[in-house]
Amino acid sequence: MAQPRAIRVRAHDGRSTTVTIAASATVSDLRTALRSSFAPALVSPDFHLFLKGTKLIADAKVGNLPVGPGESISFIPVNAKSAPPHPPSSSAPNPWRKRKFSWHDGGGEDIYAKKPTNPAPPRPLSCHGTQPLDPTQMVEHLRQGLGKAGQITHVEEIPGREATFAELPGHLSSSMRDALRSIGVTKLYAHQAQAVQSAVSGEHVVVSTSTSSGKSLCYNIPVLESISQSSAPCALYIFPTKALAQDQLKTLLDMKPAFRSDFDVSIYDGDTAMKDRTRIRNTARLLITNPDMLHMSILPCHAQFKRVLFNLKYIVIDEAHSYKGAFGCHAALILRRLKRICSYVYGSNPTFIFCTATLANPREHVMELANLDRVVLVDNDTSPCGSKNFLLWNPPLQLAKAEDRRPNPVLEVSYLFAEMVQHGLRVIAFCKTRKMCEQVLMQTRQILKETAAELVNSICVYRGGYVASDRRKIEADLFGGILRGVAATNALELGIDAGRSGRRAKQSIAVYVAFEGALDQYFMRSPHKLFGKPIEHCQVDSQNRKVLEQHLACAASEYPLRQEHDESYFGFSMNSVLMTLKDKGCLMNNPSGGDSGVWKYIGPDKKPSHSVSIRAIEHHRYKVIDRRSNRVLEEIEESKAFFQVYDGAVYMHQGVSYLVDKLDLTSRIAYCKVFDLNYYTKVQDYTEISFIGGDVDEHPASECKPDIRRTTAQANDCRVTTKWVGFDRILKSNNQKSDSISLDHLPPYSFETQAVWVQIPVSVRTTMEQMEYQLCGGVHAASHALLSIIPLHMMCSGSDLGTQCAEPQENSETADRILLYDKHPGGIGLASQAKLLFGELLVAALELVSSCSCTNSDGCPNCIQSFACSDYNRDLDKEASIFLLKGVIQYEKLYFEAIDGCYQS
């Protein structure tokens, strides 16, 4: 007689049990045993059992199950009843424990599992037709189908234009003309000819025209002509992403065979194999790289690139509009380091050629970016352009018991994505986050299964985190026309943006799908704000003291600094920063009694550039590994890892759902298996802010101006700590929460940055208490309103700044402050900029909230609710926020009137 078997069963939340059962028993018997002894089965009596990704059938014999030593059967609830999360076991106070309205309403029922009392009627299904439609036909098709509930709030018809041509410049060699003919070019657009002529004449040039206007020829022609006609000249191409480099390499290799002389064109970036790097350094005439590699490898080891740098004639910087904010500040100082090494060490003075999307200030932007005195601007776009229909798409309101909500915009995007692919259009669906890309792909494939199953595999995701081989494969399939569509992050890692639609005078269509946030809804109401002349000003702060300090240390390690020579590169702040670095033991002058004007690097790091992250790139990453194939699916930065992977998480990759069954914190590896699940997961996180220093230095632009409202706001160094306390399982069928599971074993993630804040006056707090206003709800709502309007006042996005959404601890120093913090580790100067404008921001936030017509006590997405809220928009109080903002604004007005009165006295 067979011995009984000890079967280990494990649930998603890490709870497990071992059931000893007869080998002759069935899986059905095992299920019965679990229902009487296993806690998760008591809560969710309807469940499935999986072994190695395969669902177990009810009459299978337990003795025949291939459960190996250390392996377990997975317990998968089908429709678990809601239950409050288990309290964290850590000694730290649990922020969820003390909330008045933490998880349940007054009756104890789970308010997140309720179905809407008055749900919206089911949306129309996509049509099943696959007949090709052009963009104009698609607009009408959407009006009559998916958009017949009035989702299309505006259609902007952007007319096409005819091309204006110029003959090929007479000085071009026959080889160059052959190369152009090989890619179908026999004459140039007028703006291309102007840019080429200026570059050949040695003038720095910026080309600011629309996408698909042929900007690459503006630099490829002068560069290829130069390096093909002589054996010495070299060129350096700098692209912000690896994918753009791959795209450009393909174009160059297509043109290269037409030239009679051979020259090496190579990419030198993080994906370049080590075995190839020496050959590239020794032979490349046209080196393609990115700012990261220039900063980390090329400049610190410039002697290895002396052949290129000595003969450097052209520096090409494409996508110059991407160099703004913190990244732009770092890039500006990297370019100054490059120019300095070229001039001092190798005696070269290269010509810069910039290309950028249409900006309001292209010339000023690139002059500051590369520290140039003069740049020729080419902005008269003479390329042909097809007409474009630009649709504003606002998901219709759904009526519910207590609020009007718009449906999930991810689903709206998915229906549009499927519809366009289905009718023959090539599509890029830009998404705000990596996870949203995966959700859009999953939903779109589900739709296509019903409408055009043969197209399911014609779409994919392209986003950060994928390994290099996967990125190259997707790029090749997209450029080769194998893929009809891709969901991509708005970081444009792919190197293709939506403006490429309509190239070569073809018609195109663009759709802006609105979320519930205040800015999106503002544009839905005021479409004219989106169209017309370029409104974006790119700004680069090359004098940001914090960043300048980092790059002066790097520069000194590359070649000793001399203030009288190098101030022209690094600006008027250089002297004081040198003294700071000396005090920190990073630099020394007057070495061995020598010239006191020479500053050498003596810091602890052999290569200080390796400790300077120009895009907040983190050294610690978590790998996600598919257990079945043992393949690395993704590498996730430490700060983002626990938003995607933890025990019980549903992780998505190319639209496929995986269940994370083990997270190894020591090796930083998340192991997962493919599972067809009826839910997805969303983590619950909690962020604390604590101050660690005095006032931060103000931004250079923060000098007092008479037209700026004065404010009592302050900016300080602070520490931001994120803790993960649990996660929700959310049913795909209705987007409702099934249950919540606690997480008590994940380590917190902390970084130092800067915060700007204003104290809530005691008189305002006292009055709020008397009127029974909720202080925390008012602060939370007011902070959300500030985040919504700040992109209209500063060159930043809402995602650059954060606030404390969850109710702070009772002893928290931030409980009585309206506060925003810089989400970039170390800070990038946003806090000091916002400090100057805080009075204006308070007034704008008050206008936003008080003018919103919603009557809900917790507001709506058009005023105080935020898509990015880590606390799920709980504990918001609209009336309290209005009273609070009015009180702070009035207090500041009286405060400065009193000060002025004292001065007059």
CATH number of the domain that 11 lies in? 3.10.20.90
**Domain annotation covers residue 97:** no
The pLDDT of residue 416: 95
Q: What is the DSSP letter of 403?
A: -
What values do phi and psi take at 144, rounded to 5?
-85, -15
Q: What is the pLDDT of residue 495?
A: 44
What is the predicted pLDDT for the residue at 735? 76
> Which helix (H) or strand (E) covers residue 288, if one does?
strand 284-289
CB 874 within 8 A of CB 684: no
Question: Does residue 107 belong to any structural domain of this protein?
Answer: no
365 and 406 assigned to the same domain: no
The C-alpha atoms of residue 229 and residue 542 are separated, in whole angstroms, by 37
* Of residues 233, 187, 174, the one with CA closest to residue 214: 187
Closest-CA residue to 149 (of 120, 127, 178, 176): 120
Query: Domain check: are 24 and 142 in the same one?
Result: no
- For 608, the token pair is 């200080």
Domain boundary among 330, 360, 378: 378
Distance in angstroms between the alpha carbons of the first and the last residue of the chain:
104
User: Which 3 state secondary structure label does DSSP give 790?
Assistant: helix
Q: Give SS3 for 322.
A: helix
What's the sign of the alpha-carbon dihedral 294, 296, 299, 302?
Answer: negative
Q: Which of 35, 59, 77 is the last residue of a domain?
A: 77
Q: DSSP state, 296?
A: I
> Are residues 404 and 429 both part of a single domain?
yes
Contact 265, 288 (CB under 8 A): yes
361 and 289 inside one domain: yes
Residues 140 and 273 in one domain: no
What's the whole-model pTM score?
0.70
In a domain, 728, yes or no: no
Is the same domain home to 227 and 328?
Answer: yes
How many structural domains compose the chain?
Answer: 6
pLDDT of residue 350: 98
Amino acid 706: pLDDT: 52
Determine, yes or no, domain membership for 85.
no
User: Per DSSP, which regions of 177-224 are E strands?
Assistant: 188-189, 205-208
Go through the chain and tell me how many residues it has.
905
Instruction: With respect to residue 644, please indicate whether it lies within any of the assigned structural domains.
Output: yes
Looking up tokens 């007869």 gives 22
pLDDT of residue 100: 25
How many helices and strands (H and E) does the chain possess?
24, 36
Clarify whether residues 792 and 645 are in a common domain. Answer: no
Chunked into runs of 10 residues, the chain (905 residues) has average pLDDT values of 80 76 88 82 79 78 83 73 34 30 26 34 66 93 92 92 92 95 94 97 96 92 96 96 84 92 94 94 97 97 98 97 85 97 97 91 95 97 91 77 60 94 93 88 92 94 81 81 86 43 69 77 78 69 85 97 94 92 92 73 94 78 94 90 94 92 95 92 87 67 57 92 91 83 90 93 94 92 91 71 77 83 82 89 93 82 79 85 96 89 73
Q: Are residues 190 and 320 in the same domain?
A: yes
Task: For residue 137, give both structure tokens.
Answer: 């036909």
H or E stretch including 639?
Answer: helix 638-644
Identify whether 873 is part of a domain: yes
- Which residues pair with residue 9 across a beta bridge? 17, 73
pLDDT of residue 34: 87
Nearest 5 degrees, angle CA 580-CA 585-CA 589? 75
In 3D, which of 25, 30, 32 has the Cα closest to residue 61?
25
Predicted local distance difference test score (pLDDT) of residue 785: 93
Neighbours of 256 (CB within 10 A): 17
Q: What is the DSSP letter of 658?
A: E
Question: Residues 208, 300: one domain?
Answer: yes
431 and 331 share one domain? no
Two tokens at 313?
């004639």
Which residues, including other chains, have CB under 8 Å from residue 730's CB and lie 6 or more apart? 679, 680, 681, 682, 736, 737, 738
Only one residue has tokens 């008269």, namely 380
Whether 195 and 303 map to the same domain: the answer is: yes
- Phi then psi for residue 636, to 5 deg, are -115, 135
Structure confidence at residue 593 (pLDDT): 57
Inter-CA distances, 712 with 699, 837, 896, Å: 16, 11, 9
Q: How far apart are CA 891 and CA 290, in angstroms?
A: 50
Q: Show the domain range for 780.
A: 690-722+749-903
Domain presence at residue 220: yes
For the domain that residue 214 is a member of, what is the CATH number? 3.40.50.300
Task: Give strand pairing partners of 488.
Answer: 430, 462
Give the span between the Cα atoms of 869 and 856, in whole angstroms.
Answer: 18
Residues 414 and 443 in one domain: yes
Burial per residue of 637-658, b for 16 or more beta-carbon CB atoms within 10 angstroms, e otherwise: bebbbbbbbbbbbbbbbbbbbb
Could you tell me if residue 120 is inside a domain?
Answer: no
Of the residues 59, 77, 95, the one at which a domain ends: 77
